[in-house]
Amino acid sequence: MIRRSRTDRTPRVRPRTVLLTLAAGVALIAPTALVAPAANAAATTLGAAAAQSGRYFGAATSSFMFSNTQHTTILNREFNSIVAENEMKWDATEPQQNVFNFTGSDRLVAHARANGMSVRGHALVWHAQQPGWAQNLSGTALRNAMINHINRVAGHFRGQIHSWDVVNEAFADGGGGGRRDSNLQRTGNDWIEVAFRTARTADPNAKLCYNDYNTDGINAKSTGIYNMVRDFKSRGVPIDCVGFQSHLGTGLASDYQANLQRFADLGVDVQITELDVAQGSNQASIYERVTRACLAVARCNGITVWGVRDNDSWRRGENPLLFDANGNKKPAYNSVLNALNSVTPNPTNPPPTTTPPPPGNAACTASVSLNTWNGGFVATIRVTAGNAAIRGWTVRVTLPGGTAVTGTWNAQASGSTGTVNFSNVSYNGQLGAGGSTEFGFQGTGTAPSTTPTCTAT
Ligand code: 9MR
């Protein structure tokens, strides 16, 4: 394969740059400025190389590893993103119900901040690594515990997390493409969307991801997840990204990149979240192909490897990481770095620009769907514009006595009891004629029984 180096490509833009500079102020330019500077040197660390295209390159770590000088020297030098391998999981953060422990995770976030790294949050809800008390819950008690956990943990780190794995590994292995059985799944099929909606309210600035393994190509499991994401996008469930763990063996599916792309085409970002590859003659080439696949998908935000050195890995016997047990760079490291350095910078996914709709005969309607349980409910409200575009909307809901709103997503609530006005937020007020959007709220007490009114502006 012929790889374009950065030197090859730089002159493509250089002549135009020089001409513009001359036109702007020829008298002020010293002669040396007329000589095109040397092409950018290739970046020498993974984080810097990934940053050239607006991406991050991260590693899983643990706060107790910070005292290991070799581990931490590599971590700080090479990576510009970190994720807690275990310390943000449910069993670590809420060892007893409603008693929270952020000792390790706070240290991790502080380390990231001190070293200019972003943080992936892993993972708010998962069938595994639940504390014992949660394993023993079911039904409404577990659902409410899940909501409380997300509110408290995502709320604690509000504003500090680049992307949260809101739900981890909820799909079954095997050919069915369906959900995995778990205590969470048995609380009702909507548990995943409730988790995402709760997370959006708790930390509106974090990207919210669904994360899973054995999704490294187009297969029944990844297609099951794809269908869920498509459904979520169509109904306004707040999902921003899908994580592909990529715990790989000695092969890589030929449609690995195509799989990332089909998710991106649904309107979500994609991230490689737990990459490690069994040591073998093709370890370096698999790492390279995964890296190139991410670089080729504009909505692929970055790559995280699941540990720093081989001896840090959960798959220690397979030596699956980029640094050996002595902290030396492996061939796989060089293949990743070269791949990151070889592509045309491609900043990820600039936010779409929206054009305000024209003024018209603004009107809207609201319809409610309810998921109730003993003592609580989730209301999902669809707002639909009339035959003219609208700039904003307010939905008025009358709550029964004793009922209170405990969380709202995709809308701003005026209060929590009695008559509550839910108004659009910045990103969902504008609707085309006949267009619709969804917002929701969860509450304690009895669900509202009257039809809400919708007012458009
Ligand atoms: O690497 C993690 C290991 O230290 C833990 O013992 C294990 C517990 O389940 O979880 C490992 O990380 C997992 C991650 O959280 C989710 N995807 C699979 C990872 C490897 O098992």
Residues 387 and 319 in one domain: no
Mutate to test the pocket of ligand 1, among 61, 85, 88, 271 (most ligand atoms within 8 A of CB): 85
C-alpha to C-alpha distance for 38 and 440, rounded to whole angstroms = 55
Q: Which residues contact 391 (CB under 8 A, 6 or more apart)?
A: 356, 357, 359, 362, 429, 430, 456, 457
CATH number where 280 lies: 3.20.20.80
Output the pLDDT for position 345: 54
Residues 318 and 383 in one domain: no
pLDDT digits (tens, 9 = 90+) for 412-450: 889 999 999 999 887 778 888 888 888 888 888 999 998
With bands split at pLDDT 50, 70 and 90, how would you rate the model's confidence at 1?
A: very low
- In which region does residue 143 sit, left (phi positive, over 0), alpha (psi from -120 to 50) or beta (all else)? alpha
- Strands ordered across the beta sheet of 404-409: 364-373, 376-385, 436-444, 404-409
Considering the domain boundaries, does residue 277 fall inside one?
yes
Considering the domain boundaries, does residue 41 fall inside one?
no
Number of alpha carbons in the 13 Å side-chain half-sphere of residue 284: 12
Cβ of 314 closer than 6 Å to ligand 1, yes or no, is yes
With bands split at pLDDT 50, 70 and 90, how would you rate the model's confidence at 371?
A: confident
CA 106 vs. chain centroid, Å, equals: 20
Residues 310 and 390 in one domain: no
78 by Cβ neighbours in 10 Å (0-12 / 13-18 / 19+) ranks as buried
Residues 326 and 374 in one domain: no
- Token pair, residue 273, equals 């979240």
Residues 330 and 407 in one domain: no
440 lies in which domain range? 364-456
Residues 334 and 239 in one domain: yes
C-alpha to C-alpha distance for 36 and 34, rounded to whole angstroms = 6
Output the pLDDT for position 293: 98
Catalytic annotation, pick one of 94, 193, 274, 288: 274
Output the pLDDT for position 360: 63
Q: CA triplet 283, 284, 290: central angle to 5 degrees?
A: 90
Residues 372 and 249 in one domain: no
Strand intervals (E) in 245-340: 247-248, 269-277, 300-305
**More confident: 39 or 303:** 303
C-alpha to C-alpha distance for 420 and 291, rounded to whole angstroms = 49
For the question of whether the overall pTM of this predicted structure is more than 0.75, the answer is: no
Output the pLDDT for position 24: 33
Output the pLDDT for position 69: 98
Counting from 1 in the atom list of ligand 1, the atom nearest the Cα of 306 is: 1
Residues 371 and 337 in one domain: no
Output the pLDDT for position 343: 76
Residues 435 and 292 in one domain: no
C-alpha to C-alpha distance for 133 and 138, rounded to whole angstroms = 10
C-alpha to C-alpha distance for 307 and 284, rounded to whole angstroms = 16
Considering the domain boundaries, does residue 389 fall inside one?
yes
- Token pair, residue 114, equals 């001190």
**More confident: 106 or 407:** 106
Helix or strand (DSSP H, E) at 195? helix 191-202
Considering the domain boundaries, does residue 2 fall inside one?
no
Considering the domain boundaries, does residue 20 fall inside one?
no
- Whether the pLDDT of residue 359 is over 60: the answer is no
pLDDT digits (tens, 9 = 90+) for 440-449: 888 889 999 9
Cβ of 86 closer than 6 Å to ligand 1, yes or no, is yes
- Token pair, residue 397, equals 């809901």
Residues 392 and 441 in one domain: yes
Mutate to test the pocket of ligand 1, among 274, 305, 316 (most ligand atoms within 8 A of CB): 274
Q: Pick the range with the lowest mean pLDDT from 12-21, 103-112, 401-410.
A: 12-21
Query: How many domains are contained in the chain?
Result: 2
Residues 337 and 370 in one domain: no
Known catalytic residue: 318?
no
Considering the domain boundaries, does residue 357 fall inside one?
no
Considering the domain boundaries, does residue 353 fall inside one?
no
With bands split at pLDDT 50, 70 and 90, how would you rate the model's confidence at 377?
A: confident
Residues 181 and 217 in one domain: yes
Output the pLDDT for position 259: 98
Mean pLDDT of the residues in the chain: 88
pLDDT digits (tens, 9 = 90+) for 161-194: 999 999 999 999 988 999 999 999 999 999 999 9
Output the pLDDT for position 26: 32
C-alpha to C-alpha distance for 431 and 220, rounded to whole angstroms = 35
Output the pLDDT for position 425: 81
Considering the domain boundaries, does residue 4 fall inside one?
no
CATH number where 436 lies: 2.60.40.290
pLDDT digits (tens, 9 = 90+) for 301-315: 999 999 999 999 999
Helix or strand (DSSP H, E) at 239? none
